[in-house]
Amino acid sequence: MPDSHIEKEHLGEKIKLVLKVNYVTSTLSIIFGLICLFLLNITQIIPYVLLIYGCANLVNILLYKKLENIDHTYHISSLMALISALIITLYSGGIGSSFIFMLALVVFSGYVNTHRHGRAYLYFTFAIILFVFSQSFPQLSFTENLVPEDSRSIFSLLSVSFSLYLLGSVFGKDLLKSHNALYKSKRELTVQMYEKEMLLKEVHHRVKNNLQTVSSLLSLQSRNVQEDKMKNLLKSTQNRVISMAMVHEMLYMRKDISQIEYKSYVQELSEYLIRSIKGLDSKVNLKIDIPEIKLGIDTAIPLGLLINEAVTNALKYGFADDQEGEIYIALKKEIDKHYVLNIGDNGVGFPDTINYKNSKSLGLKLIHNLARQLKGSIQKDTSKKGTNYIIRFQEIKQQLSPVA
């Protein structure tokens, strides 16, 4: 279920809850006010506040249907409720009035609709309660209990019943419904995320299998080729395919299907290339210095291809026959998502006059094109023996275009 769809459902539930509470409190306030006026013999302030609040709240609902801003409707209703509850509490016994529970309901309503506003209503209501408490001291009091002595028990019963009905039948019911809806949505999202993860794993598995099939076809084709140049070309292409297949295999094998641990990938790829080109008895040592760096597939594949080309060139041209040597690969993270790759060998190297522009070497051209694809720069390090590169690049998040 998309996040926008869930947000719309949540907003719809909030609108229903606010409007329902407003309708119920308006109706009950008007009924309560009439009972106070005609049955409990309360003729001052209290019944009129209840009637005014009930009617004003109904007008507030009509304004919502015109303006369609539920937040404004909620805040206007809550402020009117606070003011009305404060006045009634002050004139029905102060801190000892049962109507004081309505102040707590306003705070509860704030937390139901939004935690941030609920906290604001909590602090404001707490200040109001302190003010109500101050009216307990005769020297500070300017109010009196307007509920007749013989009606106070009934008034308290109605006040508590009013609060309990709103809490149980309105808030409680809708909160339980909202909780169940959120739990259901969360469960559905969990199931969908699991299904998508399994689907992505299957995709990586299938891509890996397809690439391995291509690699096998290239291997079979190379056996039927007599010309060494063409055989080497097919072998190089096969290695490039395998370097991509390894990425998909690692994503399939690991729990995190969005990123791979790059040190193990480079280690596996480089060791494969050494075995493939130099054989099992190779005297070329591999030195890898890569910390715990994880890269996404859009960065891992072109960077892997670049490392494949650099290592392949070193093995083919840097070390003759069974010559001893060393290939080193160091990757470190700089600021944010910027990285530096140091890769090279201590072999024979090649003259500085040769570059990717005037060379016919596909590997050399690919190294520069892949560095550019990674939004990076490549620099040949001439201070060391052999062929060495310093490549600065960025982690890529969007889908990459094909290598030109």
Q: Is residue 317 part of a domain?
A: yes
Last residue of a domain, one of 191, 207, 231: 191
Q: Is residue 10 part of a domain?
A: yes
**pLDDT (0 to 100) of residue 104:** 79
Q: Is residue 77 part of a domain?
A: yes
Segment 308-349, tens digit of pLDDT: 999 998 888 888 878 889 999 999 998 888 999 999 999 888
Instruction: Tokens 């109010």: give the residue.
Output: 143
Pairing of strands 259-261, 325-333: unpaired
**pLDDT (0 to 100) of residue 170:** 61
Q: Are residues 173 and 295 in the same domain?
A: no
Q: Does the pLDDT at position 115 exceed 80?
A: no
Quote the CA–CA distance of 37 and 45 in Å, as a whole number.
Answer: 10
Quote the CA–CA distance of 355 and 361 in Å, as a whole number.
Answer: 9
**pLDDT (0 to 100) of residue 190:** 78
What total of structural domains would you count in the chain? 2
Q: Are residues 185 and 301 in the same domain?
A: no
Q: Are residues 171 and 23 in the same domain?
A: yes
Last residue of a domain, one of 191, 225, 255: 191
Q: Are residues 145 and 286 in the same domain?
A: no
**pLDDT (0 to 100) of residue 2:** 47
Q: Are residues 298 and 182 in the same domain?
A: no
Segment 95-105, tens digit of pLDDT: 989 888 888 77
Segment 361-384, tens digit of pLDDT: 787 888 889 999 999 999 988 888
For 387, the domain range is 282-404
Q: What values do phi and psi take at 166, rounded to 5?
A: -65, -40
Q: Is residue 336 part of a domain?
A: yes
Q: Are residues 171 and 304 in the same domain?
A: no
Pairing of strands 294-296, 338-345: unpaired
Q: Is residue 170 part of a domain?
A: yes
Q: Does the pLDDT at position 169 exceed 70?
A: no
Q: Are residues 171 and 302 in the same domain?
A: no
Segment 291-304, tens digit of pLDDT: 989 888 889 889 99
Q: What CATH code is carried by the domain that includes residue 316? A: 3.30.565.10
Last residue of a domain, one of 191, 206, 240: 191
pTM: predicted TM-score of the whole model, two decimal places:
0.55
Q: Does the pLDDT at position 90 exceed 90?
A: yes
| Higher per-residue pLDDT: 253 or 39 | 39
Segment 180-233, tens digit of pLDDT: 666 677 777 777 777 777 777 788 778 888 888 988 888 888 888 888 888 888
Q: Are residues 187 and 286 in the same domain?
A: no
Segment 258-284, tens digit of pLDDT: 788 899 989 998 998 898 888 888 889
Q: Are residues 10 and 119 in the same domain?
A: yes
Average pLDDT over all residues of the chain: 83
Q: Is residue 402 part of a domain?
A: yes
Q: Does the pLDDT at position 52 exceed 70?
A: yes
The rounded percent of the chain whose pLDDT value lies above 90 is 26
**pLDDT (0 to 100) of residue 5:** 53
Q: Does the pLDDT at position 4 exceed 70?
A: no
